[in-house]
């Protein structure tokens, strides 16, 4: 495990629970009745391991759906914490999580344990970066993208192509939802099911200029849940051994703008074959995986900057004593919050921090150096 990852181990209740008395064939009976899954498919799901990168709106919905479907092991990776504005659409969190500023991965793990204690959930309070991606994703059979930035998506794409690991892209913003399956060149597939295009085949470079975010364009919870439902349905096809059923298009829906048919605007781009000229899956140039020119990431338009260049353990109690004279401080065993208006610093146990109140990296780094250290 890389130094910039805080791993919260899966913990099952120590006393008997109602869930422990529910037989699998009863819990999943209606899903087993569905011909596309059946008893064999359910057994496959129980043996599967899915990594979800991002536990915000799409990731929380996807995690809830996979957990209820009986996927045996989930790895949840998220660098952020729960805020009040999340509660409108992020289905695994409640008001207490927001009041405690609980890290999203851990809050999601705890909530999943209340409705399916039979599965294993690993929570990683971490930013997915080149230094930890191998340790975090290597055990997974499938990766679901639920991130808020293209830098991480291109990193996932590089890793997936390099290791022949399938992943599913998903996005939701405003009233818009989109997903795409990526079966990379080099992965084991049936003869009648070849590889698909990768993310870089369709979009050789990340978007340039301003990109709409949930904080600038808003977001409908219904768009989030549509994206997650489409993504998880495709995941279930793959995990039950039916890759030939996976959709081979980038599909997008505009839920708010009326379409010509059924009041829903839909578009699709074919992704059925890789581009031989693609720098990633054609030429195998993994610039994101090697960390070349990796930027400091500004989070989801939230007027925030993440500082992830310092990897060192933090003693929260000692830090609280040090900072108390300079502003408001509170902490738990997972993070510390330091408020010195107009900035708020959230410090994680590995030294990583999110600084709210600015999008200026220089200002954020100066604030971090002044109060945490360089």
Instruction: Tell me which residues are annotated as active site.
Output: 214
Question: Per the omega criterion (within 30 degrees of 0), is the bond before 342 cis?
Answer: yes
- H or E, element range at 151: helix 150-163
CA distance 116 to 111: 9
* 143 in Cβ contact with 66 (< 8 Å): no
353: phi then psi, degrees, rounded to nearest 5: -145, 150
Residue whose token pair is 């200029």: 209
Tokens of 348: 């994680």
Strands annotated E in the chain: 5-8, 49-53, 73-78, 120-126, 142-145, 167-173, 176-182, 249-254, 265-270, 304-307, 328-331, 335-340, 343-348, 353-356
Task: Look up residue 278 and give its two tokens.
Answer: 């693609």
């Amino acid at each position: 495990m890389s130094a910039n990852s805080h791993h919260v181990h899966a913990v099952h209740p120590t006393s008997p629970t109602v869930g422990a008395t529910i037989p699998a064939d009863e819990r999943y009976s209606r899903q087993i009745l569905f011909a596309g899954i059946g008893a064999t498919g359910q057994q496959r799901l129980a043996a599967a391991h899915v990594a979800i990168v991002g536990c915000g709106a799409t990731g929380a919905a996807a995690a809830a759906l996979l957990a209820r479907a009986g996927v045996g092991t989930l790895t949840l990776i998220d660098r952020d914490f729960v805020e009040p504005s999340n509660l409108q659409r992020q289905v695994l969190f409640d008001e207490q999580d927001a009041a405690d500023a609980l890290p999203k991965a851990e809050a999601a793990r705890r909530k999943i344990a209340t409705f399916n204690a039979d599965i294993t959930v690993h929570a990683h309070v971490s930013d997915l970066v080149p230094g930890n991606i191998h340790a975090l994703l290597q055990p997974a059979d499938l990766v679901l993208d639920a991130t808020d930035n293209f830098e991480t998506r291109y990193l996932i794409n590089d890793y997936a192509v390099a290791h022949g690991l399938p992943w599913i892209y998903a996005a939701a913003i405003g009233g818009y939802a989109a997903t795409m399956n990526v079966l990379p060149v080099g992965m084991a597939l049936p003869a009648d099911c070849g590889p698909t295009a990768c993310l870089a085949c369709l979009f050789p470079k990340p978007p340039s200029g301003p990109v709409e975010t949930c904080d600038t364009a808003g977001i409908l919870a219904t768009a989030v849940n549509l994206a997650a439902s489409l993504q998880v349905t495709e995941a279930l096809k793959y995990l039950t051994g039916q890759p030939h059923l996976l959709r081979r298009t980038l599909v997008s829906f505009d839920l708010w703008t009326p379409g010509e048919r059924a009041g829903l605007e839909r578009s699709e781009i074919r992704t059925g074959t890789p581009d031989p000229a693609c720098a990633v899956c054609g030429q195998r140039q993994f610039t994101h995986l090697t960390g070349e020119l990796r930027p400091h990431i500004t989070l989801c338009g939230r007027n925030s900057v993440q500082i992830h260049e310092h990897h060192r353990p933090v003693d929260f109690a000692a830090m609280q004593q040090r900072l108390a004279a300079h502003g408001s401080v509170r902490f738990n065993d997972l993070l510390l919050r330091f408020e010195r208006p107009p900035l708020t610093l959230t410090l994680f146990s590995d030294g990583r921090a999110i600084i709210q109140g600015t999008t200026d990296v220089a200002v954020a780094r100066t604030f971090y150096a002044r109060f945490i250290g360089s």
